[in-house]
Structure 1
Amino acid sequence: MATELPGTRRPGGRTERTRVAVLRATLDLLAEVGFGELSVEAVAERSGVHKTTVYRRWESREGLVAAALELGAEEPWSPADTGSLAGDLREMVLEVVRTFTTAGSRELPMAAVLAGFQSERAAEALRAFYRDRHSRAAVVVQRAVARGEVPADTDPDEVTRLACGPVFYRLFVSREPVSEESAGMAAEAAAIAARAGVLRERGV
């Protein structure tokens, strides 16, 4: 006899509506008050779901934040296709810049990254989110390989890291402004390194 996993019953029904309401409330509050001030009670009040239900399913604010961050992987996203590796990377890096610097949209991603420093469960959820984004971004390198721009064994993850890394350094380490020019430089540097064969896949 089949056994239903928690939360999988009646897809699209009350169970799913409850899940989405609670996790959306978690994301809203995370953006507003940060991980340190987040509480299960506040999420229950914001979502309209009884706190007993929230505790039973997610156990703690760590569980709520981890599940809420995983919700991001369900959102549709694909990188732009400009016809060149440098162009694709530039658009991808500029999207990161806009996400983390535009008022009204920057609060949640900033809070999510900071939560990863305060909770190991949040950190693992954040790693899973970026693994998903890396997987989707790999098409940028696949297209470049097909065009003959880069070696066939170019590592897509390393290309993404090299392109986006300088932006995150400015945002979270040096706290310097991030401009379109600096984003373009990072993207071009990653494209040059990929074309030169510096970012080939290597055995562990």
Structure 2
Amino acid sequence: MRSDQAPAGRPVGRGAKVRAAVHAAALAELVDVGYAALTIENVAQRAGVHKTTVYRRWKDRESLLTDALAEHMALDVPVPDTGAIEGDLRALAHSLVRAYTSPTGQALLAAMFTGAAHLPEIAAARRHVFDDRLVRAAPVVTRAVERGELPAGTDAAELLKTLAAPIYLRLLMTGDPVDGTTADRAALVTLAAARAGALKAP
């Protein structure tokens, strides 16, 4: 048995504790064995719960991973409120870099963009995760418009996609280093484009 796997039969609390334990186990399995070999049975064993407990909450591994991925990104890339749009964008970009250069982040990218990524259920999970991130982070842009830092009509989704684009380009395409400099540059370029009115809703 793996060192981080729960002993068989060890009880886990109900509700939020069960959800957190199963989420953590699902992501740990994803890192250890990859999407193709991930099973509900192994996730349940690692979480210290019976597999029927998992199936009561998630119908299959795809719905479990979708939920776990969205929650993981919400925690790993929190929505900042520094009081200024430049600080918020820098914080978001740095969190994104940290999240996706970690071992767990690398495994998540592999699951969402390589290997089984062509499967409809993985494409749907990927869309859900990114849509969830856009909705959660949209207040950063709303607050900036209200403070007069960005033009009225700035499209929050387009701004956030512009911020993430150079980071994902390096992670998924070019293999160039992804670090704090990458994050800072992404924030500054995005801010300049938004202030110039290039990211307004059509």
CA contact (8 A) 1:69 1:112 kept: no
User: How many angstroms apart in 1 are the aligned matches of 2:187 and 2:163?
Assistant: 5
CA contact (8 A) 1:151 1:195 kept: yes
Residue in structure 1 matched with residue 167 of structure 2 by the alignment: 167
Q: Does 1:81 align with 2:71?
A: no
1:1-204 paired onto structure 2 within 5 Å: 14=14, 17-55=17-55, 58-72=58-72, 75=75, 77-83=78-84, 85-102=85-102, 104-114=103-113, 117-202=117-202
Once the 2 structures are TM-superposed, how far is the Cα of residue 196 of structure 1 from its aligned partner? 0.9
The Cα RMSD (Å) is 2.9
TM-score normalised by length of structure 1 = 0.76
Once the 2 structures are TM-superposed, how far is the Cα of residue 138 of structure 1 from its aligned partner? 1.9
AA partner of residue 78 (structure 1): V
Once the 2 structures are TM-superposed, how far is the Cα of residue 108 of structure 1 from its aligned partner? 4.9
Deviates more, 1:153-162 or 1:19-28: 19-28
Deviations 1:79-102 (A, max 9, x none): 24152x333212211111111124
User: How many angstroms apart in 2 are the aligned matches of 1:49 and 1:132?
Assistant: 28
User: How many angstroms apart in 1 are the aligned matches of 2:135 and 2:174?
Assistant: 28
User: How many angstroms apart in 2 are the aligned matches of 1:20 and 1:140?
Assistant: 27
AA partner of residue 157 (structure 2): D
Query: Using a 3 Å threshold, how does the CA distance of structure 1 residues 155 and 74 change in structure 2: closer, same or farther?
Result: closer
AA partner of residue 64 (structure 1): L
User: How many angstroms apart in 2 are the aligned matches of 1:50 and 1:24?
Assistant: 15
User: How many angstroms apart in 2 are the aligned matches of 1:195 and 1:29?
Assistant: 43
Deviates more, 1:85-94 or 1:154-163: 85-94
Deviates more, 1:118-127 or 1:173-182: 118-127
AA partner of residue 191 (structure 1): L
CA contact (8 A) 1:44 1:50 kept: yes
Deviates more, 1:56-65 or 1:139-148: 56-65
User: How many angstroms apart in 1 are the aligned matches of 2:101 and 2:21?
Assistant: 26
User: How many angstroms apart in 1 are the aligned matches of 2:34 and 2:162?
Assistant: 28
Deviations 1:121-163 (A, max 9, x none): 3332332232222223222222322332321100011111111
Name stretches of at least 5 consecutive residues in structure 1 with no aligned partner: 1-12
Higher Rg: 1
Q: How many residues align?
A: 189
Name stretches of at least 5 consecutive residues in structure 2 with no aligned partner: 1-12
CA contact (8 A) 1:99 1:109 kept: no
TM-score normalised by length of structure 2 = 0.77
Residue in structure 2 matched with residue 7 of structure 1 by the alignment: none
CA contact (8 A) 2:89 2:187 kept: yes
CA contact (8 A) 2:81 2:88 kept: yes
User: How many angstroms apart in 1 are the aligned matches of 2:18 and 2:30?
Assistant: 18
Residue in structure 1 matched with residue 9 of structure 2 by the alignment: none
User: How many angstroms apart in 2 are the aligned matches of 1:183 and 1:71?
Assistant: 22
User: How many angstroms apart in 2 are the aligned matches of 1:37 and 1:22?
Assistant: 17
